Chain A
Amino acid sequence: MPETKKDSGAECGIYLHIPFCVLKCRYCDFLSAPAAEETKEDYVRVLLQEIKEKAPAFQNRTVTSVFFGGGTPSILKAGAISNLMDQIRTGFAVSDDAEITIECNPGTLTREKLAIYKGCGINRLSMGVQSADNAVLKMLGRIHTYEAFLESFELARKAGFKNINLDIISGLPLQKEGDYEKSLKKLLRLRPEHLSVYSLLIEEGTEFYRLYGEDAKIRENGGKPQFLPEEEAERRMVHRTAALLAESGYQQYEISNFARKGRESRHNLGYWRRSDYLGLGLGAASLVDNHRFHNTRALDDYLKYEFSPQEEEVIDKKGQMEETMFLGLREIRGVEKAEFYRRFGVSMRNVYGKVIDEMSADGLLMETEQNVCLSTRGLDVANYVMAAFLLD
């Protein structure tokens, strides 16, 4: 990990990974698993130590976002979260208006937990509801019913949380478009401030991969899948989502993210804009002064206080340009030309003029005086466009 050279006030995000859950969801490929209470306690102890040891290098930074991700961070005893927050505030300069998020699984939230979260300054909840349809929740391997979620959501509102995100999945096996829309509308009635709507990805190593991996490949090659929605139907769900959410007053600001005005996730935007962030906990990834690295992904090692940077990679100017483009294009507003010039001292057109022209001609990119962004069609094939921004 590099000694940070930033001037006082340079901003930075902090990510804390909590790799535990009640039960592994069947589609999930995140670094998370159920664990014994004792293991969780050991883990928090190590994590506290990691914060303590790594904080001094960030003396001059202002932390503008903290994100407890997982796994299911809310699975921990509420006291653990407040201890972690305390340790962070001890080691880092967390700004007064910092966005502090915790991911919670409905079914693990209690009034008490919410009160403690609130008390330690957490001001944003991200709830993995996924669907308002109990049959779907069961199929996904979720531990909660929609009713249980509703209860949690009410509790959260009552506890005073005014910034709540809901995670939703579309494009599920055997999912009918009408049913999906019904579920989405049901969730919209709750008027959350933010929505992350992901189209299902069949990831290797998951239960879903075993069940639907073949199907996903067939679809990828243009064939007719047996369980998964056909490509056209899958896209229709994605497009319908965007339309419905727009009608309901949400602004799409990223490929999968929607928010009411001013409620965009500052922490996530940091990833797309290449702001510095320090990842703490098992497997957590960091970007600090153009060094990318991550913690060990082996829990046994981590529990032995092994949190030195792994696979540290220095991103050179070429890499920075590439990242600026392929990450920035995830945002609906795209990449600002002035910002590009400010960062690299060369115009975006100088570096990427040819790609921009080709992609624009194919109707995948839109270019204005100020910026370059994906078109509606471009959003559907974002990887194709982004890959073209890698330099030789």
Chain B
Amino acid sequence: MTDQERIRNFCIIAHIDHGKSTLADRIIEMTGLLTDREMQEQVLDNMDLERERGITIKSQAVRTIYKADDGEEYVLNLIDTPGHVDFTYEVSRSLAACDGAILVVDAAQGVEAQTLANVYLALDADLEVFPVINKIDLPSADPARVIEEIEDVIGIEAEDAPQISAKTGQNVRDVLEAIVKKLPAPKGDPDAPLQALIFDSKYDSYKGVIVFCRIKNGRIAPGDRMRMIATGAEADVVEVGTFGAGQFLPCSELTAGMVGYLTASLKNVKDTRVGDTVTNAAKPCDQALPGYKKVNPMVYCGIYPADGAKYPDLRDALEKLQLNDAALQFEAETSVALGFGFRCGFLGLLHLEIVEERLEREYHLDLVTTAPSVIYQVHKTDGTTLSITNPTNLPDPAEIDYMEEPFVAAEIMVTSEFIGPIMDLCQERRGVYQSIEYIEATRALIKYDMPLNEIIYDFFDALKSRSRGYASFDYEMKGYVKSDLVKLDILINKEEVDALSFIVFAGTAYERGRKMCEKLKEEIPRHLFEIPIQAAIGSKVIARETVKAMRKDVLAKCYGGDITRKKKLLEKQKEGKKRMRQVGNVEIPQEAFMSVLKLDEE
């Protein structure tokens, strides 16, 4: 139906807030496939959560028809990419599904760390990249400077880059023409054995797993027997189609060069891993498409239902989320303080927060989350090695020869006035200085090797506040480094609270222990008796605070006959108590477990 010459498969890459989603909206709008009614504020960002955070989490795609100046109709497949460092692998697979990329750069802010990271990913994937200067309507816009910067820093031609305002729609048509003229058409062989790249998958309770793919070679139609090369899973194709805006449009077959979806009554996204190759089981291709890798969680934390009776609900919800999120891992664990819950693995802190919010928002679960932990390698004196994701499982110090923690290579781009504070921050977080490069007179790219566990706490927040929001940040996993680590335990009324234990660099243990005790003192309500709060390493107490005993909790007056008011007060009191966790004879509010995650707030 459509020959490959008139297909363009592309993505938009940009730093957060540089206008990726707005440009996508304009493109969809101007290609006229949507009625005004269908035109939501941000068509690509389906999830509320994404909209609120202004970022795109899971890649999605949309197909539009554009009648170009040459009079031909072109199929434009816009593949959306996640915009966060936690999802680098997913980004790379989305890019691999494209033939070209539009690089959106803010006319006022210029090139940012994340822009660089994504451009390099795109160039690595052999994509044709052309830049677009966005937000030229801003008073602070300086397109000439930004063009120069793109050419200097990234090294791609930017002289004739469309200068647009995605917000007002100004010059967006230039972008559409550039897509047709500058980006290459796909060059697949429709008659070769099927090779389709999975760049996303979604679970739908009616259709089962919906696989988002780019057909590199061959063709696929309902009734074909398909096979996923990496997982080995096979299934009969039920439906194939393309992406309308926010809807699936079934068609008779997908052929080389096309971007679309297929369903095969698969029950679990585990079988359809991003980056895997789909082929025809009856006539398989020789080899898989390059670049597949199994993504592994980097950050772990315990997630517990606030109400113990909701444990099965939490399990169901995690299973459902996992249908759509192959990177999410979880296994059951128990905590003395928190009861039954799950140790969950995430790609990064943002991924963790997203899952947590979805559990609360979409599944209406009230959760208690423990401090996030990275994976520590524990080398025991007997020569064996353990991977520890839960501090509670750390062996006795006598059995430990040495420990290693994961380091990342971090890149921070910042204007020169903030270089000092940012370097201080990196040093406080045990960063190992690598280099500093000036991109232009007032901006620099700072590189540090940093322990991942220093980043997963509140590094983003600290970075933002110390650079007044101007710093941008990117990191990638580097490897394991030997480190002096200790397990810090928290004792409340002399009882160790397992859910509050964590592994920390020995040099900062005292400081962290002290802050935790102070924070917990604020969070734990007064009881009828005095409660000591202690931080300890092994049997050595390094910090202590005390919650004073409650002397008084009585209403002198009872408002005449207004008993209802009195009862409401008592009910509130009882309700508050219900939301607490019993440790020994101390009731600890759920919030206390979470509050210790944010120790550095002033």
On A, residues with C-beta under 8 Å from B are 15, 69, 198-201, 221-222, 231-232, 234-235, 255-256, 271, 277, 279, 284-287, 292, 294, 311, 313, 322-323, 326-327, 330, 362, 364, 379-384, 386-388, 390
The verdict on B282 contacting chain A, using a C-beta distance below 8 Å, is: no
Residue of B nearest to A286 (CB): B561
What residues on B are CB-neighbors of A255 within 8 Å? 554-556
Contacts beyond the supplied A287-B563, A380-B553, A387-B574: 10 A-B pairs with Cβ under 8 Å? A199-B556, A201-B557, A222-B526, A255-B554, A279-B561, A313-B564, A380-B551, A381-B553, A382-B554, A387-B577
Bound-state CA distance A199–B574 (Å) is 23
Segment at the interface with A among B86-94, B243-251, B565-573: B565-573
Of the candidates A256, A285, A326, A379, which one forms a contact with B560 in the assembled complex, judged by CB atoms under 8 Å apart? A285
Q: How far is the CB of A257 from chain B (nearest CB, A)?
A: 10
Query: Nearest Cβ in chain A — how far from B462, in angstroms?
Result: 28
B528 interface residue per 8 A CB criterion: yes
Question: What B residues does A201 contact at CB under 8 A?
Answer: 555-557
A383 touches B554 (CB 8 A): yes
Whether A284 touches B561, Cβ cut-off 8 Å, given contacts A255-B556, A387-B577, is yes
CA gap between A69 and B551 in the complex, in Å: 32
CA distance A313 to B563 in the complex (A): 12
With A and B bound together, what is the CA distance between A112 and B561 in angstroms? 30
Q: Is the interface of B mostly helix, strand, loop or mixed?
A: loop
Cross-chain pair count, CB within 8 angstroms: 93
Q: How far is the CA of A170 from the CA of B382 in the complex (A)?
A: 69
In contact, B526 and A221 (Cβ under 8 angstroms): yes
**What residues on B are CB-neighbors of A383 within 8 Å?**
553-555, 569-570, 573
How near does chain A come to B250, taking the closest CB pair, in angstroms? 52
**Can you report 29 A-B residue pairs in the complex whose CB atoms are below 8 A from each other?**
A201-B556, A201-B557, A234-B552, A255-B554, A255-B555, A256-B557, A271-B563, A277-B561, A279-B561, A285-B560, A285-B561, A285-B563, A285-B564, A287-B563, A326-B566, A326-B567, A330-B558, A379-B554, A380-B551, A381-B528, A382-B553, A383-B554, A384-B550, A386-B570, A387-B570, A387-B574, A390-B570, A390-B571, A390-B574
Shortest distance in angstroms between B269's beta carbon and chain A's nearest beta carbon?
A: 40
In angstroms, Cα B561 to Cα A15, docked, is: 9
Q: Is B283 an interface residue (CB 8 A)?
A: no
> Which of B550, B560, B563, B574 gathers most chain A CB within 10 Å?
B560
Residue in B526, B548, B561, B573 whose beta carbon sits within 8 Å of that of A387 in the complex: B573
Q: Using Cβ atoms and an 8 Å threshold, which residues of chain B touch A222?
A: 526, 547-548, 550
Q: Contact between A15 and B556 (Cβ–Cβ < 8 Å)?
A: no
Is B562 interfacial (CB 8 A cutoff)? yes
Residues of B within 8 A of A (CB): 526, 528, 547-548, 550-558, 560-564, 566-567, 569-571, 573-574, 577
Asked if A362 contacts B570 (CB within 8 A), the reply is no
Docked CA distance A387–B547 (Å): 22
Please tell me which one of the listed residues A234, A323, A380, A382 contacts residue B567 in the complex, with CB atoms under 8 A apart: A323
B554, B555, B569, B571 — which one has the most chain A CB atoms within 10 A of its CB?
B554
Give the top 7 A-B pairs by smallest Cβ distance, nearest first.
A222-B548, A285-B561, A387-B573, A198-B556, A382-B554, A381-B553, A231-B551
Q: Which residues of A contact B528 (CB under 8 A)?
A: 362, 364, 381, 384
Most buried by A among B526, B551, B562: B551
- Residues of B within 8 Å of A15, CB to CB, are 560-561
List chain B residues, Cβ under 8 A from A380.
551-554
Determine chain A's interface SS by DSSP, over half rule: mixed
* C-alpha spacing A231/B573, complex, angstroms: 20
Q: In the complex, what residue of chain A is closest to B569 when comparing beta carbons?
A: A383
Docked pose: A198 CA to B551 CA in angstroms: 17
In the assembled complex, the Cα of A69 lies from the Cα of B561 at a distance in Å of: 11
Residues of B within 8 A of A294 (CB): 562, 564
Bound: A105/B548 CA distance, A: 40
Residue of B nearest to A223 (CB): B548
Asked whether B560 lies within 8 Å of A322 as measured between CB atoms, the reply is no
B493 CB to closest chain A CB (Å) equals 15
Give the chain A neighbours of B571 by CB distance below 8 A: 387, 390
Minimal Cβ-Cβ distance residue in A for B576:
A387
Bound Cα distance from A235 to B560, whole angstroms: 23
Partner pick for A235 among B552, B555, B564, B569, CB 8 A cutoff? B552
Chain A residues, CB < 8 A from B573: 383-384, 387
Q: Find chain B residues with CB under 8 A from A382 CB.
A: 553-555
Question: Which residues of chain B come closer than 8 Å to A387, judged between CB atoms?
Answer: 570-571, 573-574, 577
Which chain A positions have C-beta within 8 A of B569?
383
Give B585's nearest chain A residue, CB to CB: A362
Question: Which B residue's beta carbon lies closest to that of A293?
Answer: B564
Query: Which of chain A's residues have a CB closer than 8 A to the CB of B570?
Result: 326, 383, 386-387, 390
B570 CB to closest chain A CB (Å) equals 4
- Residue of chain B at shortest CB distance from A283: B562
A124 and B528 alpha carbons, distance in the complex (Å): 40
| B574 adjacent to A256 (CB under 8 Å) | no
A384→B547 CA distance, assembly (Å): 17
| Interfacial chain B residues near A199, Cβ < 8 Å | 554, 556
Measured in the bound complex, the distance between the Cα atoms of B529 and A381 in whole Å is 12
- Residue pair B564, A381 in contact (C-beta under 8 Å): no
**Contact yes or no, B556 A256, CB < 8 A:** yes
Complex interface: chain B residues within 8 A of A271 (CB): 558, 560-561, 563
Which residues of chain B come closer than 8 Å to A231, judged between CB atoms? 551-552
CA–CA, A379 and B554, complex, Å: 7
Question: CA separation between A379 and B574, bound complex, in Å?
Answer: 18
CA distance A200 to B557 in the complex (A): 9
Q: In whole angstroms, how far apart are the Cα atoms of A198 and B557 in the complex?
A: 7
Give the docked Cα–Cα distance between A171 and B561 (Å).
24
CA distance A326 to B156 in the complex (A): 77
| Minimum CB–CB distance for A70 against chain B, Å | 10
Least Cβ distance of B573 to chain A in Å? 4
> Are B567 and A322 in contact (CB-based, < 8 A)?
yes
Tell me the smallest distance from the CB of B580 to a CB of chain A, in Å: 13
Please report the C-alpha to C-alpha distance between residue A201 and residue B569 in the assembled complex, in whole angstroms: 14
Which residue of chain B is the closest to A381 with respect to CB atoms? B553
Report B141 CB to chain A, min CB distance, Å.
Answer: 47
Contact B551 A323 (CB under 8 A): no
- Report A-chain residues with C-beta under 8 Å of the C-beta of B552: 231, 234-235, 380-381
